[in-house]
């Protein structure tokens, strides 16, 4: 059994909520870093893996890909990544390192196994590419073991506090817009109302911005408290103006329920309406990343390795005003990412 005591110098002390310095107590000599993707996949994750790998190699470091997220870390599913291993992946969707959610890592026993695997492989630091759940896992690990983690935000929801942008959001947004533009053609042709469900169980930014981009009559998101009123106004007032079609964009986590539930209720209350439902589902996660996602992933990947070399740990790399910022994991996972109320106002003005 490996001796973990020397890596447990932090005890259970929580990181300071507003800490600004995130250097380890003494300089480390980095030789080998791990990189993995966790949680839901998003376009641009491969671009981030490429940037991390090539930046590390340029700085004389060995790179180990951890296959299958935290579960792969527990199982010791590692493979070395070379310069050529990440060639040709910049434009591909998904993740070459696979991804998974690990229930075992949520336990102290699971995190202990993960630490043992990292130490056995002699991995000195880790880059995690994922969302809120992935960073929550990294934060829990950092409270127990002194192996540096740096995070890169990769999620199509764009809902991580401390960064204006997460990898995959622009690609997913464009996928939604392209799909709804096509649906709108048939909606107009048949005089139908389409209820279109997009991803966003707890965050509605994807639904809100895609709705504005396609000119949706109604946008229903989890953050809004007057969805029922907005929807009823659309039904009662919109069709009195003799509109022949309509688009309702619904985030899957909206308080009124998903698209199927809302459409069923609308049909029952308005039997004269011709209603159809389209659930875009996981197509939003796939496909080639946009230029914006490729550039953001490249920036963040380089910055993540540079942060580790600079002896920083337990932070997320973010972007604000196109510039790299360092955000403590404790803030990234515990503070809420707020919706811009001006966007809701804009949508109401354009469709009132």
Catalytic residues: 157
**DSSP structural state of residue 294:** H
In this structure, are residues 95 and 53 in contact, taking their beta carbons and an 8 Å threshold?
A: no
Q: What is each CA distance from 160 to 169, 193, 199, 317, in whole angstroms? A: 11, 33, 15, 11
Q: What is each CA distance from 289 to 95, 165, 265, 298, in whole angstroms? A: 12, 14, 37, 12
Nearest alpha-carbon partner for 116 in 62, 65, 151, 78: 78
Tokens describing residue 201: 């169980």
The DSSP-derived string for 319-338 is EETTEEEEEEHHHHHHS---
Beta-bridge partners for 177: none
- What is the rounded distance in angstroms from the CA atom of residue 343 to the CA atom of residue 158? 15
Q: At what angle do helices 341-351 and 205-214 cross, to 10 degrees?
A: 30
- What is the rounded distance in angstroms from the CA atom of residue 30 to the CA atom of residue 125? 8
**DSSP structural state of residue 246:** E
- What is the rounded distance in angstroms from the CA atom of residue 38 to the CA atom of residue 47? 15
């Amino acid at each position: 059994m490996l001796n973990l005591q020397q890596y447990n110098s932090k005890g259970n002390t929580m990181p300071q909520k507003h800490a600004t310095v995130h250097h380890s107590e003494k300089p480390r000599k980095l030789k080998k870093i791990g990189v993995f993707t966790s949680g839901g996949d998003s376009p641009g994750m491969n671009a981030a893996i490429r940037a991390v790998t090539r930046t590390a190699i340029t700085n004389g470091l060995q790179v180990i890909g951890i296959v299958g997220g935290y579960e792969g870390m527990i199982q010791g599913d590692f493979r070395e990544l070379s310069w050529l291993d990440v060639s040709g992946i910049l434009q591909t969707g998904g993740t070459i390192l696979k991804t998974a959610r690990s229930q075992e890592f949520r336990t102290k026993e699971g995190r202990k196994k993960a630490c043992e695997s990292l130490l056995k492989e002699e991995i000195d630091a880790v880059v995690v590419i994922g969302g809120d759940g992935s960073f929550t896992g990294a934060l829990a690990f950092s409270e127990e073991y002194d192996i540096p983690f740096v995070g890169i935000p990769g999620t199509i929801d764009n809902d991580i506090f401390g960064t204006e942008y997460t990898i995959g959001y622009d690609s997913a947004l464009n996928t939604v817009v392209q799909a709804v533009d096509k649906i709108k053609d048939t909606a107009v042709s048949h005089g139908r109302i389409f209820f279109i469900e997009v991803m966003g169980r707890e965050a509605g930014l994807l639904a809100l911005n895609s709705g504005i981009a396609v000119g949706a009559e109604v946008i229903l998101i989890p953050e809004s408290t007057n969805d029922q009123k907005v929807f009823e106004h659309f039904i009662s007032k919109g069709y009195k103006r003799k509109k022949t079609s309509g688009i309702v964009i619904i985030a899957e986590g909206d308080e009124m329920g998903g698209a199927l539930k809302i459409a069923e209720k609308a049909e029952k209350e308005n039997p004269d309406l011709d209603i159809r439902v389209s659930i875009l589902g996981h197509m939003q996660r796939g496909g080639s990343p946009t230029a914006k996602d490729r550039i953001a992933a490249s920036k963040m990947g380089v910055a993540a390795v540079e942060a580790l070399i600079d002896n920083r740990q337990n932070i997320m790399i973010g972007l604000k005003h196109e510039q790299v910022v360092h955000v403590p994991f404790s803030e990234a996972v515990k503070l809420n990412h707020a919706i811009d109320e001006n966007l809701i106002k804009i949508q109401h003005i354009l469709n009132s």
